Amino acid sequence: MSIVTNVMRVRETIAEACDRARRSPADVTLIAVSKTHPPDVILQAVETGLQHFGENRVEEAGMKIPVVNAQSPQPVVWHMIGHVQSRKAKEVVPLFQVVQSVDSLKLASKLSTLVAGQDQKLPVLLEVNVSGEAAKYGLPAWDWQTDAEARRRLWAEVEAVLALPGLDVRGLMTMAPIVDDMEQTRPIFASLAALRNALAEAFQRPLPELSMGMTDDYPVAVEEGATMVRVGRAIFGVRQS
Ligand SMILES: *Cc1c(COP(=O)(O)O)cnc(C)c1O
């Protein structure tokens, strides 16, 4: 098993899913989730042409990202994909170019304040929980279609985040529940797309990005409109920790 072969296989699988959905593979960004893997392994993945990497823990990222950046022959775009405690926000900003896991107004405000005065807004995604699974982070978004009060609360939270001056809210991110058959994740991905459409309409903002799909379910996510897939094990193999 080599990273080169794995990346080729993942790219092929994305292209096949795009074919089925009549989409262009150019519209799907592959994010290599490198959590637990050391800088030398990440650099091997960089050599295959991958440019986007995802990490989920601030401390681990703080040790690895500067090493990879210093040795990489090309610029790497780092995506924060794990839960960030508000008090850790200041460590996230200098390391990551995109924060996909904005799951509260509190964190969003903190990030916005931290980038105030910089000439570029920080690109972020709002992490939402569309499945209702209790173990998941993300703004509650499983009953907005059926519960007017839940919808009002979610809309108010999103509106407040959209108003923050330091953030460029690019779209939504979600994690699907772990299931036996990837087909079972299709309604989750479809409901993320539906939520994006509803929010884009309500707030007149394009919200183009949908970050959804991991090793076990990314082909279905691509069929349902993912613009970013976050793939770890299919590229790097099983994680040790
Ligand atoms: C670990 C992780 C992934 C990748 O998971 P794989 O199953 O290894 O592809 C994707 N997204 C998030 C938020 C993760 O924490």
Q: What is the pLDDT of residue 240?
A: 74
Q: Among 33, 133, 229, which is best to mutate for testing ligand 1, by the most ligand atoms less than 8 A from CB?
A: 33
Among residues 102, 226, 241, 234, the alpha carbon closest in space to that of 164 is found at: 102
Beta bridge pairs of residue 78: 53
33: CA distance to ligand 1 center in Å? 6
Q: What total of structural domains would you count in the chain? A: 1
The model's pTM is: 0.97
Please indicate whether residue 235, judged by its CB atom, sits closer than 6 Å to ligand 1.
Answer: no
Condensed to tens digits (0 to 9), the pLDDT of residues 138-186 reads: 999 999 999 999 999 999 999 999 999 999 999 999 999 888 999 999 9
27 located within any domain: yes
- Dmax over Cα atoms in the chain, in whole Å? 51
Q: How far apart are CA 191 and CA 185, in angstroms?
A: 10
Listed as own residue / partner, the contacts of 193-198 with beta carbons closer than 8 Å and 24 or more positions apart are 193/224, 193/225, 194/145, 195/128, 195/130, 195/141, 195/144, 196/171, 196/172, 198/144
Q: How confident is the model at residue 134 (pLDDT cuts 50, 70, 90)?
A: confident
Q: Which residue's C-alpha comes closest to atom 6 of ligand 1? A: 232
Q: What does residue 119 show for φ and ψ, rounded to 5 degrees?
A: -80, -15
Please indicate whether residue 30, judged by its CB atom, sits closer than 6 Å to ligand 1.
Answer: no
User: In whole numbers, what is the pLDDT of the chain averaged over residues?
Assistant: 96
Q: How confident is the model at residue 136 (pLDDT cuts 50, 70, 90)?
A: confident
Residues 239, 228: contact at Cβ < 8 Å?
no
Condensed to tens digits (0 to 9), the pLDDT of residues 229-238 reads: 999 999 999 8
183 located within any domain: yes
103: CA distance to ligand 1 center in Å? 17
The 10 Å Cβ neighbour count of residue 239 is 11
Q: Inform me whether the pLDDT recorded for 239 exceeds 90.
A: no
Condensed to tens digits (0 to 9), the pLDDT of residues 44-85 reads: 999 999 999 999 999 999 999 999 999 999 999 999 999 999
182 located within any domain: yes
Among residues 187, 179, 93, 99, the alpha carbon closest in space to that of 137 is found at: 99
Q: What is the pLDDT of residue 163?
A: 98
Q: 12-36 in b/e burial notation, b at 16+ Cβ within 10 A?
A: ebbeebbeeeebeeeebbbbbbbbb
Domain of residue 222: give its range: 3-232
Q: What is the pLDDT of residue 135?
A: 77
Please indicate whether residue 33, judged by its CB atom, sits closer than 6 Å to ligand 1.
Answer: yes
CATH number of 32's domain: 3.20.20.10
Q: Inform me whether the pLDDT recorded for 241 exceeds 70.
A: no
**14 vs 136, more confident:** 14
Q: Among 79, 99, 230, which is best to mutate for testing ligand 1, by the most ligand atoms less than 8 A from CB?
A: 230
